[in-house]
Amino acid sequence: MADWRKMAMSAILSDGKVDEGEIKILQKELKGADGKIDDEGVKFLLELRVAAQKKAKGAGAEVNEAFEKYFFKVITENVLKDGKVDAKEAGWLRTNLFADKKIDDKEWDFMTTVNKKAKTKSAEFTKLYADCEAYRAKAAKK
């Protein structure tokens, strides 16, 4: 049995980037009947972003801006679907987005957006946000 995730990722990144046409396909195909992207779709996008970052870095390029916008829009909607950032969501963010202990500009924009839009924030999210600030400050000194 073919691994659809691996096959789709290979097809999307065959030219080394996620372009606008591929983003449109992702937008259409990852949505469920309710119009939302489920956890499986979010996981796929996360894996795709990591692979796209590796390809871009290897080519001395940046990940397509349109894909980055789409990716963070989906993650923001997913994290804030109930208006709160609970401990589980904060843990997911720490594990999946910030495992490398680096916060790039797009990730920081995402964090500040979530911090502003969240009606309530868990202590775990507040700690993650503070850690992100510290990572940014440390990187700025280098």
Under the banding of pLDDT at 50, 70 and 90, the label for residue 1 is: low
| The residue type at 69 | K
pLDDT of residue 91: 95
The structure tokens listed for 136 are 């940014």
3-state helix/strand/coil string of 8-22: HHHHHCCCCCCCHHH
The structure tokens listed for 5 are 């995730």
**pTM of the entire structure?**
0.89
Torsion angle defined by CA atoms of residues 121, 89, 24 and 15, in that order, rounded to the nearest 10 degrees: 120
Alpha carbons 124 and 86: distance in angstroms, whole number: 8
Under the banding of pLDDT at 50, 70 and 90, the label for residue 136 is: confident
The structure tokens listed for 139 are 């990187």
pLDDT of residue 2: 67
Residue owning tokens 């290979």? 10
Alpha carbons 120 and 137: distance in angstroms, whole number: 25
Mean predicted confidence (pLDDT) in 15-35: 90
Alpha carbons 29 and 122: distance in angstroms, whole number: 32
Residue 114: count of CB within 10 angstroms of its CB? 22
Under the banding of pLDDT at 50, 70 and 90, the label for residue 71 is: very high
Mean predicted confidence (pLDDT) in 91-107: 87
Alpha carbons 77 and 68: distance in angstroms, whole number: 14
Instruction: Return mean pLDDT, the chain.
Output: 91
